[in-house]
Amino acid sequence: MTADLTAPTTDRTNLDPPGGSTPDGSWDRTLAILAAVVAVADLAIQPLAGLIPPLLAFGVLGLAGVAVLPRRPKVGRIGLLVVSLLGTAGGAPFALAGLAHPESPIDFVHGVTSLPLRVVVMVAAVAALRGASTGARRTRVVALGSLAGLVVVAVVSSFVVGSSVAADPGDVVLRTEGAVFVDGDQLAVATGERLVVDNADPFRHTFTIEDAGVDVEIPAGRTVEVPLDLQPGTYDYICAVPGHEAMTGTLEVGA
């Protein structure tokens, strides 16, 4: 009885052909495809969302793992498992921040898909390491199908959720472009003037004055009015999106 329990594990390992791929190579193919999708997404979001060093590292390491996989399957599987584990932990703050914002499709798609996809990559890596021979194609189809569906839903919902205002000639307009507040230190608002933030980026920002309780969401591609009920003075403002720590500026509120 005891011998029967341990035998299948040993036999499965021995079923691996000399090259080390799973019996039909199917889990390795699923692993390679999904890991490549995650890595490319991590890299593609860099020019879109501003440089996020941890995601850049996960993207490069993920592609390296995919490249190694055909030649050194065991190294590739373990490497991708570790990268996905680290990516799940390290990417969680960025993903969770985007999850709450369907009005900004890139942030939202990243938020909804990145952690589940990394988990599926880990499942595929473990299945390949164990020499499993079924379920790979189904997992691949469901994961990629869900991803495609979510992208469509996110893009459609972004048109419905959230709104934009038109800037009037008398407004003070602060522009965000390339994940910076353009001329952010020359911002001065006099009494009676309206402050609007025009987000020219395809991803979300916030206009946040931590000490004054101001925290306004600026969705991708939208223009939003910032309600200011502040005493005259000088205030430091930031964008509170994780990874956007370089987005800072100074606001002068006139009497």
H or E element in which residue 87 lies = helix 73-99
Q: How many chain residues interact with Cu ion (CB under 5 A)?
A: 5
Q: Give CA–CA dist 155/157, Å, rounded.
A: 6
Query: Phi, psi (5° rounding) for residue 151?
Result: -60, -45
Residue 50 gets the label, from left (phi > 0), alpha (psi -120 to 50) or beta, of left
Q: Which residue is nearest to Cu ion (CB)?
A: 239
SS3 248: strand
Task: Give the residue with the Cβ less far from Cu ion, 65 or 249.
Answer: 249
H or E element in which residue 198 lies = strand 195-199
Task: Give the residue with the Cβ less far from Cu ion, 28 or 217.
Answer: 217
Contacts of 7 (CB under 8 A, 6+ apart): none
From 51, 209, 227, 24, select the one nearest 133 (Cα to Cα).
Answer: 24
Q: How far is the CB of 218 from Cu ion (least distance, A)?
A: 8
Site for Cu ion in 5-34 (CB under 5 A): none
Task: Give the residue with the Cβ less far from Cu ion, 45 or 247.
Answer: 247
Q: How far is the CB of 160 from Cu ion (least distance, A)?
A: 23
Q: Give CA–CA dist 211/219, Å, rounded.
A: 22
Binding mask 229-248 for Cu ion (x = CB under 5 A): ----------x-x--x--x-
Q: How far is the CB of 230 from Cu ion (least distance, A)?
A: 21
Task: Give the residue with the Cβ less far from Cu ion, 62 or 249.
Answer: 249
Task: Give the residue with the Cβ less far from Cu ion, 77 or 244.
Answer: 244
Binding mask 200-229 for Cu ion (x = CB under 5 A): -----x------------------------
Residues that bind Cu ion (CB under 5 A): 205, 239, 241, 244, 247
